[in-house]
Amino acid sequence: MEILQGFVDAVVGIVKSSGIFTLQWENYVMIGVSIVLLYLAIKKQYEPLLLLPIAFGMLLVNLYPAIMAAPSTELLTAEQCAAQNVAIEGHASMIIDGVTYYENPTYGGLLYYLYQGVKLGIYPPLIFLGIGCMTDFGPLIANPKSLILGAAAQIGIFLTFTGAVFLGFTEAEAGAIGIIGGADGPTAIYVTTKLAPHLLGSIAIAAYSYMALVPIIQPPIMKALTTKKERSVVMEQLRPVSKLEKIMFPVIVVILIAIFLPDAAPLVGMLMLGNLFKESGVVDRIAKAAQNELMNIITIFLGTTVGATASGQNFLTWATIKIIVLGLIAFCLGTAFGVLFGKIMYKLTGGKVNPLIGSAGVSAVPMAARVSQKVGQQENPGNFLLMHAMGPNVAGVIGSAVAAGVLLNVVG
């Protein structure tokens, strides 16, 4: 009989602690959302390297919220300790109103600890290190004017800031929302953890969704703002860039940006370190590790834990909807200003610059450059804008890191 009672008690205990009793409706909604995202990542292959871990982190935290729980200390009396089988020895104690309490630490969840790399701003610069190893700044060095397009595409960030402030977000929150327009995942995460960590889930998911949707969002804007004649401009071949120039580039950029804008130094510094690994040609092993193993490991941690910030209670708010709308506006504005500045350059150079490369000024490497290539080819199948668009594209990475530095400095 006693055995049976024990069995029943155990089963009841398990059922009571199961999700069926502890989860709220928001969690179930988010479980549905995460499954849709998993479908998009696997079937539609929308940025699967990031979306898959993000979606799964989201799924995990809504099934088992304690996986993201922070460690804490609870105060127990001697009787409570005995009841919970907690050893008193070795625990710090304090006396409140004549009763002795023992400090009983509880440990945080798995993803809480992995999340510290996001929270403390460690992962995004390390991702930038890997990106630096994979980036060829040659097209930018050959045509430095493309930096103007990389800067123009950041205007969307600052205009969206205005929109966010007027919609009732605080300055810091508005800064984090605006940075979605930079179309650069690591930068968006870095800025958000510094300015508005409570919005991280929504902002990261908005940023990565729009980056995945670049081929759908950008072409209509590009076509609306340019004429057929402008789109069919064939640009001159870029000059070859010597190895020495490529080696000097990261060193010069990091000196310049870190001196003028120290807030951008962690991101730009790591980006340029990675690039120097690649271009110097003497640390091949390190360069390979940074762009493969390290980058992949960080991507797993970053994706999963960023997804895990999107618990139902956190994510299903009006703020998220506003962020998603504002993010889209930021993105469209960035694209539009890139193209408009491309048009200005088209006019100033007497028709030598194809304005379509301007839209690549939003980072989203290399997707945005491919979109320029694709839209250009629709007008003229023999036109190869890809390398020309890579200039503004990598300039956009530098540009959004600089914009991030400005935001951190002004509203941080």
Partner 1 sequence: MNFANITPILADTMTLAEKSISSAKVILTGFVVVFVVLFLLIFIINIYGFIIQKATQSGKKKKEKISEPEKKAPVVTKAANVPAAPAPSVQDGISDEVVAVISAAVASVSDSSSKTRIKSIKKSDGSRSAWANAGILDNTRPF
Residue written as token pair 């050893």: 87
Binding footprint of partner 1, residue count (CB under 8 A): 71
- Residue 362 as a binder of partner 1 (CB under 8 A): the answer is no
Residue number, 271 or 403, with CB nearest to partner 1 = 403
Please enumerate in sequence order all residues whose Cβ is within 8 A of that of 315, keeping only pairs 6 or more positions apart, or say none. 26, 30, 33, 201, 202
Residue number, 132 or 290, with CB nearest to partner 1 = 132
- Residue 21 as a binder of partner 1 (CB under 8 A): the answer is no
Determine the interface stretch with partner 1 among 121-129, 274-282, 317-325, 344-352 (rule: CB under 8 A).
317-325
Site for partner 1 in 382-401 (CB under 8 A): 382, 384, 386, 395, 398-399
Cα separation, 261 vs 122, in Å, equals 19
Q: Which of 411, 409, 397, 410 is nearest to 188 (CA)?
A: 397
Site for partner 1 in 90-129 (CB under 8 A): none
Site for partner 1 in 282-311 (CB under 8 A): 309, 311
Residue number, 149 or 225, with CB nearest to partner 1 = 149
Is the separation of the CB atoms in 61 and 308 below 8 Å? Answer: yes
Q: How far is the CB of 122 from partner 1 (least distance, A)?
A: 18
Cis peptide before 262 (omega within 30 of 0): no
Is beta strand 93-96 parallel, antiparallel or unpaired with respect to 99-106? antiparallel
Give the CA angle between residues 177, 225, 320 to the nearest 5°. 20
Is beta strand 72-77 parallel, antiparallel or unpaired with respect to 93-96? unpaired
Question: Using the rule CB under 8 A, which residue among 113, 197, 288, 379 binds partner 1?
Answer: 197
Q: How far is the CB of 403 from partner 1 (least distance, A)?
A: 5
365: left (phi over 0), alpha (psi -120 to 50) or beta: beta
- Residue 336 as a binder of partner 1 (CB under 8 A): the answer is no
Residue number, 182 or 294, with CB nearest to partner 1 = 182
Site for partner 1 in 241-280 (CB under 8 A): 241-242, 244-245, 248-249, 252-253, 256-257, 260-261
- Residue 159 as a binder of partner 1 (CB under 8 A): the answer is yes
